[in-house]
Amino acid sequence: MANIHELLILLSGLLVVNNAQNYQGNVSKATPPAGDMYGRTEYYNGVMVLQFLGIPYAESPTEDSVLSRPLPKTGMTGEDEQTIYYATDHQGSCPQSPPWYGYGNIPVRNQSIDCLHLNVYVPRTLNSQTPRAVMVFIHGGEYLYEQGMRYDGSLLAVHGDVVVVTMNYRLDAYGFLSSNDAVIPGNLGLWDQRLALKWVKDNIAAFGGDSNRITVFGSGTGAHSIGMHLLYENNTGLFQRVILQSGAPLTPLGLVHNPLDFTQKFAVALACDYPNATDFSQRLKDCVVSKNITEVLGATLKAKQFDMLTYRRVLGPVVDGDLLKNTPSRLIRRPNIPFRNVDLMVGTNSADGGQVLLKLGVYQDSHNFNLDKGVPREVFKDLFVKSIVRDYFNSSKDVQQELLNRYSGLRISEIEQARKLVALYGDLMQHAPSVKTLKQHTELAPGKKTFQYYFAHDPETTNSRPWFQGANHADELAFVFGPEVIYPRRIEVSDEEIQFSRRIMKYWSNFAKTGNPNYVSEDVWKEFTSRYQNYMYLAFTPRLRRNLRSTSIKYLIDLTEKKEDSGAITHGASVILSIALYSFLLVNFAH
């Protein structure tokens, strides 16, 4: 693990003394266009890693810009207006919901709306003569929690010989509230991410990174976010490769289709409700700005409690007429979008649907069942299938019966029913959308590379239900970044898992370097094609396979395509028209 040395060594050869800085270890200097900065030097497995932490990529928000798009940072100074910025420690977390305080190995700290920072990890040296491929990670967390500093990119940088970047972006209402008009159009968190990507493109060469070999990767809602960036034509050229981990642009969970439903409940919870007000959006925006972080986050929690068994996303990306001009299923076929110009790797975890158990667990007492023993068929039918069909298939009785026929049975045990529940949620939200996205890429991006993986390793440290089998949602992250830096330090990690992690790092970093994940000859990872739907089964012994869960996936793709855009075009058009109308009225009122 890392050891911080005590001598102050500047790569530039200059000794800098700054009493305002608390860091006393080795530092390294970088001189990107954004401004000169010093980072810290640490060692991982005997290899030096240069860490530039807490770099601001956006201007600090003012009262007027809290619910506005981010502005690029125009200049950086250190404490007391020093001309060199010290990027030697992580900065504060973006505001996030109280239930997730202390999530994971790194605690949430110093929450602030001034949270738009990124972190750069460079192996060995800032070598600009032979630039390294760059891997930019966008974290998940349901758009409600998480932070860039939780994902230490040092081991991935060392073992992959790549430059790794992680970031913060605005979450919760600060990042994704939408009034469905031009006042609070939404998607601020996505605009934050885009600004960070632009910063990387413009500055990464100073850290030894290749600005023409940038791979964006993310898990869960991080992958969903990247899926949205793939559909925005102005992002073309910002990145060349993409890895989507358990999240694809065509997932049912990708969009909030009726943002006003949540926004109105949020306004009531925040005591910012103005019934029938013609200027509701502006008054809500002003009210949010006047509240403190605790009040805003608390209002989100209250607004989300109206029905825990709502499987549609209520806070996240929306069709805003700008970054997202329409639904992903419509945008993906447009010319001149990044989706057509990148190499793509998409994968899922074998038990990705396990994330739904947190939602279902709330109802154990009221419905008299114990998740540790499984899920009764009636609970599966009444609390899960009915809700899914209500949210995505217009409460179709036919679809409900079809799902029961495929994923249940009259004499099914509670344990088997629980596993079938996990399978259904994973198939619907992850596996089927991922395969559909891969198929679209092979058709629409000729000449670009397309790969699929299926992460099947059940981590040895998993603390899950006794009947649970497989890799849960986000389990792959510990092996992409290294279990030594992701797991809490008290957890012992076996040599087998460490070696498995090194293999995953090689696959990911090789894809970032060349568009091809292969690095060993004994088991060639073949591309996904429309004819041969190859995927790599990732376990201690990886194996090449074909046609992932083909029967279930084909059924769900066919089913969702029938309902896919029911009302979606009307919604997208209404957002665009409302924004245009608001702008028209604003201009004419001003005149």
Residue 120 to residue 138: CA distance in whole angstroms? 13
> Of 143-152, 363-372, 440-449, 516-525, which range is least confident?
516-525
Structure-token pair, residue 90? 């992580």
pLDDT tens digit sequence for 407-434: 999 999 999 999 999 999 999 999 999 9
pLDDT at 243: 99
Q: What pTM does this model have?
A: 0.91
Strands 27-30 and 85-87: unpaired
Residue 463: per-residue pLDDT: 74
Q: Is 383 exposed, middle or buried (0-12, 13-18, 19+ CB in 10 A)?
A: buried
CA dist 137 and 139 (Å) reads 6
Tell me the pLDDT band of 77, cut-offs 50, 70 and 90: low
> Higher model confidence: residue 284 or residue 485?
284
What is the distance between the alpha carbons of residues 29 and 219, in angstroms, rounded to a whole number? 31
Stretch 209-229: mean pLDDT, rounded?
98
CB atoms within 10 A of CB 241: 23
Residue 26 has a pLDDT of 76
Whether the predicted pLDDT of 17 surpasses 70 = no
Q: For residue 72, what is the DSSP state?
A: B
- The residue with greater pLDDT, 587 or 46, is 46
Percent of the chain whose predicted confidence (pLDDT) is above 70: 87
Please check whether residue 454 is in contact with residue 537, taking contact to mean a CB–CB distance below 8 angstroms: yes
pLDDT digits (tens, 9 = 90+) for 27-58: 789 999 999 999 999 999 899 999 999 999 99
Q: Are 575 and 339 in contact (CB under 8 A)?
A: no
Measured between alpha carbons, how far is 577 from 290 in angstroms, rounded to an integer?
A: 29
From CA 85, how far away is CA 368, in angstroms rounded?
57
* Amino acid 75: pLDDT: 79
- Sign, CA dihedral 67-72-73-74, equals negative
User: Are 219 and 141 spatial neighbours (Cβ–Cβ below 8 Å)?
Assistant: no
Dist CA 287 CA 179 (whole Å): 13
The residue behind tokens 């209250």 is 302
At residue 148 the predicted structure's pLDDT band, cuts being 50, 70 and 90, is very high
Angle in degrees, 0-180, between the axes of helices 550-563 and 432-444, rounded to the nearest 10:
80
Higher pLDDT, 154 or 305: 154
Residue 453: helix, strand or coil by DSSP?
A: strand
- Tell me what pLDDT residue 586 has: 38
Phi, psi of 155 (to 5 degrees): -65, -40
Whether the CB-CB separation of 240 and 342 falls below 8 Å is answered with yes
Give the distance from CA 186 to its chain's centroid.
Answer: 17
Q: How far is CA 421 from CA 372, 404, 405, 515, 591, in A?
A: 14, 10, 12, 35, 59
Rounded Cα–Cα distance for residues 294 and 97 (Å): 9
pLDDT of residue 45: 84
Digit-coded pLDDT (tens) for 176-199: 999 999 999 999 999 999 999 999
Structure tokens, 194 = 């885009």
Distance from C-alpha of 159 to C-alpha of 431, rounded to nearest angstrom: 29
- Give the separation between CA 556 and CA 157, rounded to whole angstroms: 38
Going from the C-alpha of 83 to that of each of 31, 34, 38, 75, 353, the distances in angstroms are 12, 12, 11, 10, 50
- pLDDT tens digits, residue range 251-284? 999 999 999 999 999 999 999 988 888 999 999 9
Q: Residue 69 corresponds to which tokens in the numbers above?
A: 């798009």
> Across residues 49-71, what is the average pLDDT?
94
How large is the angle between the packed helices 259-269 and 293-304, nearest 10 degrees?
Answer: 120
* Beta carbons within 8 Å of 410's beta carbon, 6+ residues apart: 377
Residue 585 has pLDDT above 50, yes or no: no
- The confidence band for 109, taking pLDDT boundaries of 50, 70 and 90, is low
Chain mean pLDDT for the chain: 88
Tokens linked to 20? 């305002």
Q: Is a pLDDT exceeding 80 seen at residue 81?
A: no
pLDDT at 295 over 60: yes
Helix extents (H) in 456-567: 477-481, 483-486, 495-514, 550-563
**What six digits make up the tokens of 373?**
């023993």
